Chains A and B, each alone.
Chain A
Amino acid sequence: MKGRAVGLRRKSSFSDTIYFATILFLFLPLFVLFTYSFNAAKGGTWAGLSLVWYEKLLFESPTLWRAVFNSAVIALGSATAATILGSLAAVGTSRYRFKGRGPIKALSSMPMVLPEIVVGVSLLVFFAGVGLKLGMLTIFIAHATFNLPFVFLLVDARLDEFDPSVIEAAHDLGADELQTLLRVILPMAAPGIASGFLTAVTLSLEDFVITFFVSGPGSTTLPLYIYSAIRFGVSPVINALSAVMVCGTIALVYPLRNFLKAFAARA
């Protein structure tokens, strides 16, 4: 009996070993980026501690900051558009039964299933067909499109959780459709909407493949900038930038996650 219990324990410590090895594997690139960002030399060989790449990042990289700015504009813009459209559609399909509801729900999650490269190529061909010049606008459209299903599904999942009789009660007490939407439904769906928006911002900042196809001159986003830096001569400025980005994201997202959790628990 005793042996069995010990045996089960030992098995779980095998999986723990794999887990910790995996964590090391996952953090290795971050560690390397951090270390190299303080390297005085340009190559991989260590040549002493230096802040030269951070200096270059701050004062000598206007195109990089332009790309950061473009990425931020696209991310906020496309996430806002996707959040408004996706949330409304989720409210409509989860609260009402009507003809075409099934196909609409199916259509709403389809862009998520399609391979990215196919979405990118089809949008490129489409924009070329309608004669829309590639640039910030086309990137915005593409990002809003691939963000929609995520917002829709997150809000839909949230709306599924609460009791529909609350809405009936609001109607019985004399609230009209707009009042019900603004005072009852949206506040209840708020955690879903917020996480939909944040997911959309993250996905937009992250996207490379689709953006690659629908971008034009002057609309370089951060991933596209890094891509060209990799292709046409690696600069350790990227190391410094990544180090800043990781720290920034952790500083930003961790409190936000806790806030969201508290928010979700309250609502």
Chain B
Amino acid sequence: MKRNYGPLYAVPQSAWLLVFFAAPLVIIVGYSFLEKGLYGGVKPHLSLAAYRELANPALLGVAFRTLWVSVAATVVTLIVALPCGYSIARSHNQSLRLFLIIVPFWTNFLVRIYAWISILGNEGFLNDILRTLGVTSESVQFLYNQWAVILVLVYMYLPYAILPLFTSIDKFDFSLLEAARDLGASRFASYRLVLLPNIRSGIVTAVLFTFIPIFGAYAIPLLIGGKDSYMLGNLIADQVTKTRNWPLAASISMAVTLLSGLAAVVFLFRSRKGEAVAEVAESGMDSPGPVGRGGSASGTGGPAGATGATGLTLEVPA
């Protein structure tokens, strides 16, 4: 008689996650409904004050700014990542080209931020060049504004967009493009009407991998940005460590989690519907992923299994 050992194997990890992941989350949810204590912490009185405060115009301003910065950075990332993924997929030397994308990310995240400060700073590389060329006589402050933050965000998240796009373009049957051209589509139309719909799942994954972490960004706006790039992540951190309003930190955390979760669900749902036509479901990503968050995530299904099932719609619009 064979025993079922399954639960036995799963117990240690589940216990760990219940204690150190689920319990802290439950506490955060609970705190968001309590009154704030005088010196941090909470008072055991039920209250909706923390949620009412979410409607505070200053806070809404930060929320909209966060949304704008995230959308802008995601769009730019996508526009750059699409041709890159295409170029890698069509290259004869795919692994070298992927390798080159990944190498810069073997430096520490903080070191990369530091490097951008050395480039954009007052005494930085860019100012040095501009002065040497005689374009400017005094140094220009490129740092501590929204554009610097968007630039560095794009830098940080490009690979996370390029990898899933490459994977899905690599699976695309390029003879479909030729067919579209033979049937009279212009080059642009064939890309727009044939390529893009067929790599939809890659696009969705790329958007999720960039938008969600950017929406919760903390370190980059803190170190690269200024007043005009204070984002929700910074607001949460300051409520915890400076203002010590834990219920408000909790309620903003809830809002951020729900919003990014909602974005994920909406995106996944839309992509599913589009692919339902004729799908050659192909799970199991066998791309040579990088060592690191992007690669491992794209190799295993990503947030909510976004990467699996690369749809190949067999309808060719004439």
Cβ of A266 within 8 Å of any chain B Cβ, yes or no, is: no
With a CB–CB cut-off of 8 A, which chain B residues contact A239?
A: 118
Cβ of A245 within 8 Å of any chain B Cβ, yes or no, is: yes
Q: Which of B48-56, B199-207, B270-278, B296-304 contacts A (4 or more CB under 8 A)?
A: B296-304
- Tell me whether A226 and B111 are in contact (CB under 8 A): yes
Q: Which of A72-116 contact B (CB under 8 A)?
A: 84-86, 88-89, 91-93, 95-98, 100-101, 104, 107-116
Expressed in whole angstroms, the Cα–Cα distance for A209 and B217 within the complex equals 9
The contact of A111 among B21, B178, B249, by CB within 8 Å, is: B21
Expressed in whole angstroms, the Cα–Cα distance for A203 and B215 within the complex equals 20
- Tell me whether A230 and B292 are in contact (CB under 8 A): no
- Tell me whether A107 and B14 are in contact (CB under 8 A): yes
The contact of A125 among B123, B178, B246, by CB within 8 Å, is: B246
9 pairs of residues in contact across A and B, judged by CB atoms under 8 Å: A15-B83, A26-B104, A36-B125, A44-B123, A46-B128, A107-B17, A107-B22, A117-B233, A121-B253
Given A26-B155, A29-B104: A113 touches B21 (CB 8 Å cut-off): no
Expressed in whole angstroms, the Cα–Cα distance for A106 and B9 within the complex equals 16
Cβ of A136 within 8 Å of any chain B Cβ, yes or no, is: no
Which A residue's beta carbon lies closest to that of B249?
A121
- Tell me whether B296 and A199 are in contact (CB under 8 A): yes
Max chain A Cβ within 10 angstroms of own Cβ: one of B109, B178, B223, B291: B291
Cβ of B7 within 8 Å of any chain A Cβ, yes or no, is: yes
Chain A positions near chain B (C-beta within 8 angstroms) = 4, 7-8, 11-12, 14-16, 18-19, 22-23, 25-30, 32-33, 36, 43-46, 84-86, 88-89, 91-93, 95-98, 100-101, 104, 107-119, 121-126, 128-129, 141-142, 144-145, 148, 150, 152-154, 156-157, 160-161, 171, 177, 195, 198-199, 202-203, 205-206, 208-209, 213, 222-223, 226-227, 229-231, 234, 238-239, 241-242, 245-246, 249-250, 253, 257, 261
The contact of A12 among B2, B16, B86, B246, by CB within 8 Å, is: B86
Smallest beta-carbon distance B154→chain A, Å: 9
- Tell me whether B240 and A8 are in contact (CB under 8 A): no
- Tell me whether A98 and B7 are in contact (CB under 8 A): yes
Max chain B Cβ within 10 angstroms of own Cβ: one of A18, A100, A113, A122: A122
- Tell me whether B21 and A226 are in contact (CB under 8 A): no
Give the number of residues in B that approach A within 8 Å (Cβ atoms): 100
Q: Which of B57-65, B257-265, B310-318 contacts A (4 or more CB under 8 A)?
A: B257-265
Expressed in whole angstroms, the Cα–Cα distance for A58 and B80 within the complex equals 40
- Tell me whether B233 and A30 are in contact (CB under 8 A): no
Which A residue's beta carbon lies closest to that of B305?
A109
Which A residue's beta carbon lies closest to that of B208?
A113
Expressed in whole angstroms, the Cα–Cα distance for A82 and B303 within the complex equals 19
- Tell me whether A208 and B236 are in contact (CB under 8 A): no
With a CB–CB cut-off of 8 A, which chain A residues contact B304?
A: 113
- Tell me whether A153 and B216 are in contact (CB under 8 A): no
The contact of A115 among B31, B115, B158, B213, by CB within 8 Å, is: B213
- Tell me whether B300 and A153 are in contact (CB under 8 A): yes
Cβ of B293 within 8 Å of any chain A Cβ, yes or no, is: yes
Cβ of B103 within 8 Å of any chain A Cβ, yes or no, is: yes
- Tell me whether B218 and A150 are in contact (CB under 8 A): no
Cβ of B140 within 8 Å of any chain A Cβ, yes or no, is: no
The 7 closest A-B pairs by CB, nearest first: A92-B9, A96-B6, A115-B216, A29-B115, A126-B24, A89-B13, A122-B24
What is the 8 Å Cβ interface bit string for chain B, positions 102-130, against chain A (1 contact, 0 not)? 01101111111111111101011101100
The contact of B114 among A111, A205, A234, A261, by CB within 8 Å, is: A234
- Tell me whether B14 and A227 are in contact (CB under 8 A): no
What is the 8 Å Cβ interface bit string for chain B, positions 1-32, against chain A (1 contact, 0 not)? 01111111110111011101111110110010
- Tell me whether B257 and A125 are in contact (CB under 8 A): no
Given A4-B181, A19-B97: A30 touches B107 (CB 8 Å cut-off): yes
Expressed in whole angstroms, the Cα–Cα distance for A241 and B108 within the complex equals 11
With a CB–CB cut-off of 8 A, which chain A residues contact B38?
A: none
Which A residue's beta carbon lies closest to that of B259?
A115
